[in-house]
Every structure is written in structure tokens, then in C-alpha cells.
Amino acid sequence: MKTFINYIKLLFIISIIIFTSLARSQDMQTEMAHFIQGFHDYKQFNGNVLVAKDGKVLFEKSYGYANFEWDIEHSEKSKFRIGSITKQFTAMLILQLAQQGKLKLDEPLATYLPDYRQDIAAKITLRQILNHTSGLSNYTQLKTFRDEYSKNNYSVDEFIRLLCSDDLLFEPGTEFRYSNSGYFILGAVIEKVTGQKYKDVLQKNILDPLGMNDTGYDSHNKIIKFRVSGYDNGLTGYSNTDYLDMSIPYAAGSMYSTARDLLKWDQALYSDKLLNKEYKQQMYHVSEQRNYALGWEVTNLDKSTYGKPLTRIQHGGGINGFNAFISRIIEDKLLVIILNNTGGAPLTPMTNGLLAIYYGKPYEKATEHIDSKLYNVFKREGIEGLKKTYQQMVSDGNTPRERSLNYFGYELMQMGELDAAITVFELNNQSYPDSANTFDSLGEAYLAAGDKQKALASYKKALTLDPESNSAHNAIEKLQ
């Protein structure tokens, strides 16, 4: 009888534990849902979110539309372009080839791409390209990239000759500079070493073995079921994003995927299915210059962040109309994936908030963006209302960041609201009088409005503050 009573007590205790755990899980899911809903309500996020622990989904929810024209809502099947998250797959392919003895990470690029300009290829190693310390430039930063190159189809060799063969920005191994050009070149290395197309190696060596059937190399020519449309999110609402030929992001950013497939990817990285222990350690080993390893950003979090020391391995991706984020807490096998198809969502604070909710820590809720708030005031009350609201922000100690206000000014210029744009840039000058960039932007706005005298004065002020400013120097030459 005593044994039976003890057994009943044990069952009761176990039931309490299970009930408490389920209640905690439901509370956490509700809190996460409300947290993300805040960003969606402010029209800062539209897409899918997944949080998993030990490979099991804790929270998963879709917000908004996969296609606004047809009112097609997101679902777990939604396939998003993931931009630079592609880089971790490219890094994996390079590491697999190293593990197979087909290349060496610390060999110079010249060993594998003999046709690349040898003065550079002989100096930089594959590892330096992988961790962005090679000194290679970044083709997406070119001012002419969007207008002259982004919509054209190029072969790999042709694009490397055109946009990935500039002089080095610094001596290899001395600095960190994020480079899409470098990862484009790594795609060419994979093709040279294997004798196969990058997308075929990706499919054969990673996607097929992991059963990632909803992930692939994107192409506008292919019919891809459940592929979502990409949009830009401006002050006046959503608009279709600009076309980008997917031959251009290539091994630096041409993949699409789903949250569920990225969960498969996450789980595989804890196993030896794709890579052995030695090479996985190399994959997460950061450079001396930055907490960037091989396709991943790696950060050691101290106890004050989430209550115990943890390692966070993550990476974001942004491409026309989309941005994506994957964050992994290694010790707890915790995963956060956020996929967005309205461009520019604040995925880092969203990720941080979800992690804080999981660990029971405080977090910041969504707030209206400065540009949205000021624009709404401008629509209701005109320029004077905009000025008054801005001055109140400053008085309250909430002066908008220089970069945010500058971006808002350019948004107004694109909308043809030149007087309002000039006002915004002038306010930025007042708040940040030592910034050359604010005067450069104001000069551009004056010039667009036809006031060459004020434009010249503003550009001269910008050049005084920054004698190395090429844009100010060139503008002054044209105006004088």
C-alpha cells in the first residue's frame, strides 16, 4: 500500500512539472506572438518567424502576405530569398572540399583561380576571403551597381572581370571589410575545383543530403511553388522591389529557403553529417580583426546578457525586397529564424527580443520609426508641424540619429517633396553641425531645388569638415 501511495505521489509531482512546463511554454508563445505583432502592426515586418529548441519548434507564426496583389497570406511553406545567409552555405562547400583534400584554406587564391589577376591572387588566401580580411572590395557598394549592372545577366568569369577585380583596399589579414565580391569569387573556386556549377554542388553536397527540398538557388526563369514576392517598404506604403538578376548575388546571396528548411540546416550543424569536428571548429573560429568566422558571426555573451555565459552564432541577409536572420545559441541548441519580404525589417532587435523572452529577460518592444512619425505629422500639419514635432523630440532628449534623419530626407526627395526634404536636412545640420555628410546631403537637396548658390555653400562646408569628401569636391567643381 505504501509503495502504491508513493507511486501516486510521484505521478502527481510529474503531472505538476508537465503542467507547469506546458503553461510556461504557452505563456512564452503568447508573449512572442504579441512581441512580433507589434512590429507587424507598425508595418516594420511581414513574414515568418520560427523559434526552436533541440530541433523542436517552440514558436512558429506567419504575419502578413506572401503576395499583396493577390492577398495571398504567408504560411510555413513560404519560400523567401535569404541573401547573405547564402554565405554560410558557400563556406560549408569550401570546407567540405578542404576536408576532402581538394583545396587548402591557407593556400593563395592563385592556386585555384589562375586566370584571376595574379598580383592579388598570389597575396590573399581562401581563409581571408571567407572571413572578410582579404582586402577585396564589395561590388554592391559601387554607386553605379544598381543602375548599370544589377539587372543584367553575366557569366561568372565575366562578372569577376567587371566588378570583382579592383585593387585591394588594404593589405590582406590586417583589417576586416565585408565583401560580396570575395564570396562571389569563392563560388568560382568551387566551380573550378569540382568542374561543376555552384548550384549543382550546393544541391548535391548540402541540400539533398539534408532533405532541404524547399531550398535552392533562385532564378527568375524557374517556376518555384510558394516563392513569395519581394517588396520595398516606403513612407507611402509597399511597392514592388526592383528586379535583380540572380546571376549577380551568386555564391554571395542567391539562395531561397523556408524557416523549416533552415531548421534542418541548423540541426545538421550539430552533427558530423556535412563536416567533421575539426573543420566545424575552423568554421566558427573568428579572425583577429572581427568576431567573424567562416560565413558566421560568432559572439561570446557574458552572464549579464541571458543569465549564463553563452555562444551566439548568427548571420543576416538582405537582398532586394527581402531580409533574413538566423541566430543560434550553441550551448542550449536554441534557434531563431526570421524571414521578411518587405525589405529592411529590424531583424536584430526582433531576434534579441525573442531570445530575451525565452530566457526571461527584459526587452524593448516595437516603436514607430522616426521617419514614419515625422512623415505622418508632415502630412497632417505641413512643414511647420514637422519642425515643431522635431524640436519637441530634441527638447525631450530624443534627438533622432543623424543617419535616420538623413535617410528620411532622401525619402522625401524621392517623393518630390523638396521643401520638406530641405527642412529635414537643415534640422539635421542643426543637430549635427560637425557632420560633413549632413551638409553634403543638404547641398544635394538645394541643387535639386535649383538653388545653386546655397548648394555651393553647403558643399564647401562639407569639404571643410571632410577634406577627403569626393562627392563634395566633385559637386563644387561642377558648380564653380
3-state secondary structure of 279: helix
Where exactly are the structural domains of the chain?
81-359, 370-479
- For the record, the C-alpha cell of 83 comes out as 541573401
Instruction: Identify whether the C-beta of residue 426 lies closer than 8 Å to the C-beta of residue 390.
Output: no
- For 201-259, write each residue's pLDDT tens digit: 999 999 999 999 999 999 999 999 999 999 999 998 999 999 999 999 999 999 999 99
- For 293-321, write each residue's pLDDT tens digit: 999 999 999 999 999 999 999 999 999 99
Range with lowest mean pLDDT among 14-18, 94-98, 275-279: 14-18
Question: Dihedrals φ, ψ of 321, to 5°?
Answer: 85, -5
Q: Give residue 471's pLDDT.
A: 87
Q: What is the pTM of this model?
A: 0.89
Q: Give residue 422's pLDDT.
A: 97
Q: Give residue 12's pLDDT.
A: 63
CA distance 426 to 439: 8
Binned at pLDDT 50, 70 and 90, residue 480 comes out as confident
Q: Note the CATH architecture for domain 81-359.
A: 3-Layer(aba) Sandwich (3.40)
Q: Give residue 220's pLDDT.
A: 92
CA distance 364 to 367: 9
- For the record, the C-alpha cell of 60 comes out as 512558429
Q: Give residue 13's pLDDT.
A: 62
> In this structure, which CATH number among 1.10.10.10, 1.25.40.10, 2.30.30.140, 3.40.50.80 belongs to the domain 370-479?
1.25.40.10
Binned at pLDDT 50, 70 and 90, residue 92 comes out as very high
Q: Give residue 10's pLDDT.
A: 62
Q: Give residue 1's pLDDT.
A: 60
**Cα Dmax for the chain:** 103
- For 347-381, write each residue's pLDDT tens digit: 999 999 999 999 999 999 999 998 999 999 999 99
Binned at pLDDT 50, 70 and 90, residue 143 comes out as confident
- For 6-37, write each residue's pLDDT tens digit: 666 665 666 555 545 555 678 999 999 999 99
User: Average pLDDT of 410-427?
Assistant: 95
Q: Give residue 468's pLDDT.
A: 86
- For the record, the C-alpha cell of 327 comes out as 541566430
